[in-house]
Amino acid sequence: MNPGRTIFSQVMDFLPLPEFRKCVARYHGEYKVQKFSCLDQFLCMAFAQLTYRESLRDIEAVLRAAQPKLYHMGIRSRMSRSTLADANENRDWRIYADFAQVLIAEARKLYAGDDFGVQLDQTAYALDATTIDLCLSLFPWAKFRKRKGAVKMHTLLDLRGSIPALIIITHGKVHDVNILDHLPFEPGAIYIMDRAYVDFARLYMMDQALAFFITRAKKRFDFKRLYSRPVDKRTGLQCDQTILLHGPLSKRRYPDQLRRIRFFDAETAKRLVFLTNNFSLPALSIAKLYHCRWKVELFFKWIKQHLRIKGFYGTTENAVKTQIWIAVTVYLLVAILKKRLKLDPSLHTILQILSVHPFEKTPLFQALSQADYTIPEGDDCIQLKLFDL
């Protein structure tokens, strides 16, 4: 009796496979490939992410134990760890990076109406980077410090739904602020950053692109106050000023006016000083928007804890980037199915359910909504009867 399809194959139904094939063709991913296709590689790696497999040997053992079910999961070839290792090492990681961008566009549409705590008409982004540590003896190409290897994952997070709008993976030595040179600034959007991104020449470029930024001021910078606006100190605001940079170099790099807001955070007992080129939003909204920047930190924490991007199945740069991008794709896939199925459980709960039931043949909505489900009673055989007896 076969009452349905596996949960894993139902999850993969949310993938836009025509777009995946376009990405594969764009980078000639299946040139001279006879058996183990790029889709087979992706499905094996996605299975490893969903079920948190520890190694290539672990992936091979689990999938071979379920060999009769693999065809119905979409995996058409016999899986071996050497074949998967070769695919991760040699097939262009940009296939999966481009496919992730397809899912990013789909996920952002689904979450476009979500509330993130601040009433805002514009799009708000949080920009930050996380360091992924690597063993220098195994990853010599990723030398970061004398005895340490690392890559950096620079992320521009859409605060509506915590969906990454842009991800750039670089060598660990690349400073965070340099990533501003690669961002396509969206006019009218707000970019929220910490003090690592304070570079007045780059911030002025953002201002000239008609985009807004909110960042924290460094402890010592020379400025001249032009005038102050009244503030309600009961809200934690201490001042709201219009300033000009006073240092000769800073003034040349950013010649226009800036807004300086000082805020006392009662929860942490810290005084925070914000710099922004947005003069229209209330000062308290600026402070609340900066507080929302922590969503990108939570995104990094979530993806490191619940997906496999700290332990890698391959040691080459291509294998590392392939694994990170497929992990991002799995995150986006879970976010998309949560929205489409209108599920109440969190992404963490959904991922936990998927990790222990990939081969079950329960309808996906029933499994993820945690509703009671029983297979309808009936004949053991589902073959249609030709004659009435």
On whether both 87 and 46 belong to a single domain, the answer is yes
The pLDDT of residue 375 is 44
Letter string b/e over residues 197-236, b meaning 16 or more CB atoms within 10 A of that residue's CB? bbbbebbbbbbeeebbbbbbbeeebebeeeeeeebeeeeb
DSSP H helices in 259-346:
283-291, 294-306, 317-340
On whether both 14 and 86 belong to a single domain, the answer is yes
- The last residue of one of the domains, among 283, 305, 337, is 283
The pLDDT of residue 376 is 46
How many Cβ atoms sit within 10 Å of the Cβ of residue 45? Answer: 25
Q: Are 189 and 214 in contact (CB under 8 A)?
A: no
Query: How many separate domains does the chain show?
Result: 2
Q: Phi, psi at residue 180, to the nearest 5°?
A: -60, -25
Structure confidence by residue, pLDDT tens digits, 146-205: 889 999 999 999 999 889 999 999 999 999 999 999 999 999 999 999 999 999 999 999
Say what the alpha-carbon torsion angle 218, 219, 224, 228 is, to the nearest 10 degrees: 90
Residue 153 lies in a domain: no
DSSP H helices in the chain:
7-12, 17-26, 38-51, 56-65, 67-70, 81-90, 94-110, 200-208, 248-253, 283-291, 294-306, 317-340, 347-356, 364-369
The pLDDT of residue 121 is 84
On whether both 62 and 15 belong to a single domain, the answer is yes
What would the two tokens of residue 90 be?
């040699």
Report pTM: 0.89
Residue 189 lies in a domain: no
- The last residue of one of the domains, among 245, 267, 283, is 283
- CA 15 to centroid of chain Cα atoms: 17
Cα atoms in the 13 Å half-sphere on the side-chain side of 199? 13
Residue 183 lies in a domain: no
The pLDDT of residue 385 is 54
Residue 32 lies in a domain: yes
Residue 378 lies in a domain: no
> Which contacts of 301-304 are long-range, i.e. CB under 8 A and separated by 24 or more positions?
302/331, 302/347, 302/348, 303/327, 303/328, 303/331, 304/130, 304/132
Provide the domain limits for residue 259.
Answer: 194-283
Sign of CA dihedral 238, 241, 247, 249: positive
What would the two tokens of residue 302 be?
């979530």
On whether both 323 and 265 belong to a single domain, the answer is no
Residue 155 lies in a domain: no
Residue 214 lies in a domain: yes
Which amino acid is residue 283, in one-letter code?
A: A
Structure confidence by residue, pLDDT tens digits, 122-144: 899 999 999 999 999 999 999 99
- The last residue of one of the domains, among 265, 283, 301, is 283
Residue 341 lies in a domain: yes
Residue written as token pair 């000062």: 283
What would the two tokens of residue 205 be?
């470029």
Measured in Å, how far apart are the chain's first and last C-alpha atoms?
22
Residues 241, 289: Cα–Cα separation, whole Å: 18
CB-based burial label for 103 (10 Å; 0-12, 13-18, 19+)? buried
The pLDDT of residue 3 is 58
pLDDT, averaged in runs of 10, over the chain (389 residues): 74 93 92 86 93 91 85 82 92 95 94 85 92 92 90 94 93 93 93 93 95 91 91 91 90 93 89 94 93 92 88 93 95 93 88 87 84 46 53
The pLDDT of residue 75 is 84
On whether both 277 and 317 belong to a single domain, the answer is no
Residues 101, 328: Cα–Cα separation, whole Å: 10
The pLDDT of residue 357 is 85
Eight-state DSSP code of residue 248: H
